[in-house]
Chains A and B, each alone.
Chain A
Amino acid sequence: MKINITYNGIPHGIAADSSIAQALAVLNTANSTDTSTFVIALNQTFVPRSQYSSTQLQDNDEIELLSPMAGG
């Protein structure tokens, strides 16, 4: 069974009962294991790295994965 989530604005289907960490392994193919290179918000709420494995995703959840960028 799958649930629908939005990852950085793009819809995806992932396995139900997935944690953030499990979803990252599927979605964030570039850097899923090196969590020092990005940070995450779930439904516009910050999620600390320590909670990636324990936070279970629900249908229609929205994940924002952000990385350092130039800024003024």
Chain B
Amino acid sequence: MTEPNMKQPNDLLKLYDCEYNSRLLVGTALYPSPDIMAQAISASASKMVTLSLRRQDPSNKQGQTIWQHIQKSDCALLPNTAGCHSAQEAITLAEMSREMFNTDFIKLEVIGDDYNLQPDPFETVKAAEILIKKGFKVLPYCTDDLVLCQRLLAVGCEVLMPWGSPIGTGKGLMNPYNLQAIRDRFPTTTLIIDAGIGKPSQAMAAMEMGFDGILLNTAIAKAHNPVQMAQAFAQAVNGGRQAYLAGLMESRQTASPSTPVLGTPFWQQQ
């Protein structure tokens, strides 16, 4: 019998031709210090972390320190194209990331609106198609639009990352109906909820729905105790996954006693 909270050995997160024994992907930004970031990543048990490329500022030693900590971890790298507003910008940044980080993985992020950081669906599909042809393993950050997900799959994406809610809001799963529709429509596609997760319970809910993984940053980095919160998210993601695999009971409209009715004490036939 499997012990509670024990991961099943063969239940791995599949990202293209790679497999990982953690379903939690974490970002490396916004932590109080590089040391706390490293501790939080370790506590999360994540096997893949996101990072970025930015203009070099020789006076900013923190960027170099963060990079040194990430290199020491055993995590695979998922560079992002954060800040890009066009397919061409994202493609250029992806190519630069591939040379810098020596990985074909790219978290494709093309922003369409700076107010809510909503991804641009048209530029995202355009960039994904070109990057796939260039040999990238594209993980596109997208909205919870079913047809957009169809288009991304059609151009060759093997992983989709719909948002739960806008980046950094912590509002959780804003539109469960749409997310469930995407899960049901693409049952064999690796689906990761990216952005908007603020609490472990929200991550667990997504995993219970059958999503394959969670990508988050702010909820851990901005917690009062990021290391403890990383552990909480690791447990929540694992718990949600176990619940999904175990199979949830169907909800009912009316009450149904769990204790047998037969032999109820103090009952008298009228």
Contacts and interface: CB of A to CB of B under 8 A. Distances in A.
A31 interface: yes
Which one of B50, B64, B99 has the greatest number of beta carbons of chain A within 10 Å?
A: B99
A68 B96 contact: no
B186 interface: no
Contacts of B99: 39, 46, 48-49
Contacts of A29: 58
A8 B50 CA distance: 23
Given A70-B66, A72-B27, A72-B29, A8 B100 contact: no
Which one of A28, A64, A69 has the greatest number of beta carbons of chain B within 10 Å?
A: A69
B95 A68 contact: no
A44 interface: yes
B50 A72 contact: yes
Contacts of B82: 71-72
A43 B167 CA distance: 29
Given A41-B92, A44-B89, A72-B167, A66 B51 contact: no
A38 B97 CA distance: 10
Nearest to B77: A68
A45 interface: yes
Contacts, number: 93
Given A72-B80, A72-B82, A38 B28 contact: no
A41 B100 CA distance: 12
B63 to A, nearest CB: 5
Which one of A39, A65, A68 has the greatest number of beta carbons of chain B within 10 Å?
A: A68
A46 B92 contact: yes
Interface in B96-116: 96-97, 99-101
Interface of B: 27-31, 37, 50-56, 58, 63-64, 66-67, 70, 79-80, 82, 88-89, 92-93, 95-97, 99-101, 167, 217-218
27 contacts: A29-B58, A39-B96, A39-B97, A40-B96, A41-B96, A44-B92, A45-B92, A66-B56, A67-B55, A67-B63, A67-B67, A68-B63, A68-B64, A68-B67, A68-B100, A68-B101, A69-B52, A70-B29, A70-B30, A70-B31, A70-B51, A70-B66, A71-B50, A71-B51, A71-B80, A72-B27, A72-B30
Given A41-B92, A49-B99, 6 more contacts: A8-B56, A39-B100, A68-B64, A71-B28, A71-B80, A72-B217
